[in-house]
Structure 1
Amino acid sequence: MDQPTLGILHPGSMGAAVAARAATNAAAVLWCPDGRSPASTSRAERFGLKPVSTLQELLDRSDIVISLCPPAAAEDLARDVAAHRFGGVYVEANAINAERSVRIADVLGTTTAAVVDGGVVGSPPVRGKSPTLYLSGPAAAAARVEALFFGTAVRTKVLGTEVGQASALKLAYASFQKASRVLVALAIGLAREHGVDQELLAIASRRTDSYLSEPEYIAKTATRAWRWGPELDEAADMLVAAGLPPEMLRAAASTLARWNDAKDGELTLTDALDRLAQP
């Protein structure tokens, strides 16, 4: 089978790195810089993505399209793609709840597109990192996405044929991992306020299986809060749908919002804790 052409919408730090890995098995990896930031352009150039002038051109040339954007934009982006009558494989890989993934599949189902639900678990595939792209949806379409990443640093696993399964797994994991990091920041912030933070860290150092032993990660959490908060709200929505209490994840998302202005910046641990203590 001929190598497919891949389009990526829109290449953030995760999307650009994931798409670049597919270049091994793709004829080309395309992106559209129209309306994107200089940072996005620089990132795309660094990862060797090929620019095209319009979304229509990207969709016309692509056999497979991966959507990786902020959760709030996922459905609008899918509607834009549907309006252009895309007929290939659309990988909905955003951190959104399963209900929204199903809605997107329905929207794109009005065209001839095959929608594969996706969820990336792990860090971007750079500097030796190997995230897993979980997939669910039509078997033939999922197999094409698997083939795209075969032998690369992006591992794939198909969970089943039901759209929403990959999204559910992604958010179930994110709800634990991200909320746990928020709890670490609150614990150390509270201890610091009373002058016992070093003693807390000493206790944590004897429990290396706990996120509490990694206080340096608080600064990273702060700079990623603008992305993590919406993910936790998505997970909270899924808890409501499942009849489970969402309050813990809503509170974690609200806490993360205190760091929204630190988007992708450079912070020290002290900076992050200072910002957390200022509503």
Structure 2
Amino acid sequence: MTEVGLLHPGSMGAAFAAQLRAQGTTVLWCPVGRSDASRQRAERAGMEAVDDLGQLLRRVDLVVSLCPPAAAEEVAAEVAKHGFRDRTYVEANAITPQRVRAVAACLPGAAVLDGSVVGSPPVGGKQPTLYLSGSPRHVALVADLFEGTDVQTRSLGNEIGQASALKLAYSSYQKASRVLAAVAYGVADANGVADELLQIAAKRTGSYLTETDYIPKTAARAWRWAPELEDAADLLAESGLPDHFMREIAAALHRWDEVHDGSLTVSRALELLSSADDRHTDARTS
């Protein structure tokens, strides 16, 4: 396989594309309706732009969907309109197993794989894992595609939904714990005991409470994390587990909806977090 389609190149998708390009694989993308930031990421990754989605789909045998989670079904529906059949579609977004199955139903003529990425983008030696579930033959095809790259692949079995369930289970802890750490630091700071809180947290290894510089980074990722944790809450409810606390964490992240980079200060991030009235303020001016 020498040509792959990638929808759409965010930071993770572009990094995946760069890994494939280093192996000699042509990675196509469609710039129609995409931002200048997406264009720049695609250019840096060596991706080849095509005129429209139809042209992309006519050329490739495999499509990887790495888009904002809320758009997963919409992206699959657009692909389905072009008669994508007898080829492979990797649904690699952080969505519920039920939504992955909806994507598969939308593409009945394609081999839809459930995929999820755990880890940071494969840049600077980082090696995320792409978990896959679905048809063993098509899982092996994707594994071969990434062989020799910094993207590790792991098969979880034949059942659609396993990879997404694993991702949301991990996200439930990994992302929610950082929001809880920001809230805990915020209340300590508001009451003049932030330094003491950090001293307590420093006695425990691996505590997010000691990573206050991560608060602005969490704020900058809130627009992506909130929908993901809302899907995690849906999965908790489907599994008969309490979901209200995960929904409240997602709601807390929505207070940072207008933040799109990590340049704001810790104090400004906490100000936005503590005041619902400020959640639509453009924090980047601070």
* Cross-structure match for 1:55: 53
Please report how far the alpha carbon of residue 127 of structure 1 lies from its aligned counterpart in structure 2 after TM superposition: 1.6
- Give percent identity, aligned residues only: 57
Code of the residue aligned with 1:27 in structure 2: it is: T
SS of the aligned residue for 1:209 comes to coil
* Cross-structure match for 2:282: none
* Cross-structure match for 2:195: 198
Please report how far the alpha carbon of residue 276 of structure 1 lies from its aligned counterpart in structure 2 after TM superposition: 1.0
Code of the residue aligned with 1:198 in structure 2: it is: D
CA shift in 2, pair 1:228/1:90, >3 Å: same
Q: How far apart are the structure 2 equivalents of 1:165 and 1:46?
A: 33
* Cross-structure match for 2:66: 68
* 1:221-236 alignment runs, 5 A limit: 221-236=218-233
* 1:40-51 alignment runs, 5 A limit: 40-51=38-49
SS of the aligned residue for 2:127 comes to coil
Matched, 1:8 2:3: no
Q: How far apart are the structure 2 equivalents of 1:53 and 1:268?
A: 41
* 1:1-279 alignment runs, 5 A limit: 3-25=1-23, 27-87=25-85, 88-109=87-108, 111=109, 113-279=110-276
Q: How far apart are the structure 1 equivalents of 2:230 and 2:24?
A: 35
SS of the aligned residue for 1:245 comes to coil
What runs of 5+ residues in structure 2 fail to find an aligned partner? 277-286
SS of the aligned residue for 2:28 comes to strand
Q: Does the 8 A contact of 1:6 with 1:26 survive in 2?
A: no
Code of the residue aligned with 1:90 in structure 2: it is: Y
Q: Does the 8 A contact of 1:7 with 1:31 survive in 2?
A: yes
Q: How far apart are the structure 1 equivalents of 2:261 and 2:157?
A: 35
Q: How far apart are the structure 2 equivalents of 1:24 and 1:114?
A: 26
| Stretches (4+) displaced over 6 A | none
Q: Does the 8 A contact of 2:21 with 2:45 survive in 1?
A: no
Q: How far apart are the structure 2 equivalents of 1:256 and 1:230?
A: 9
Q: Does the 8 A contact of 1:132 with 1:157 survive in 2?
A: yes
Q: Does the 8 A contact of 1:98 with 1:164 survive in 2?
A: yes
Q: C-alpha offsets along residues 170-201 of structure 1, whole Å, 9 cap, x if unaligned? A: 00000111110010000000000101001111
Q: How many residues align?
A: 275
Q: Does the 8 A contact of 1:207 with 1:213 survive in 2?
A: no
Please report how far the alpha carbon of residue 216 of structure 1 lies from its aligned counterpart in structure 2 after TM superposition: 1.2
What runs of 5+ residues in structure 1 fail to find an aligned partner? none
* Cross-structure match for 2:283: none
SS of the aligned residue for 1:159 comes to strand
**How does the TM-score come out when normalised to structure 1?**
0.96
Q: Does the 8 A contact of 2:19 with 2:149 survive in 1?
A: yes
Q: C-alpha offsets along residues 120-140 of structure 1, whole Å, 9 cap, x if unaligned? A: 001111122111000000111
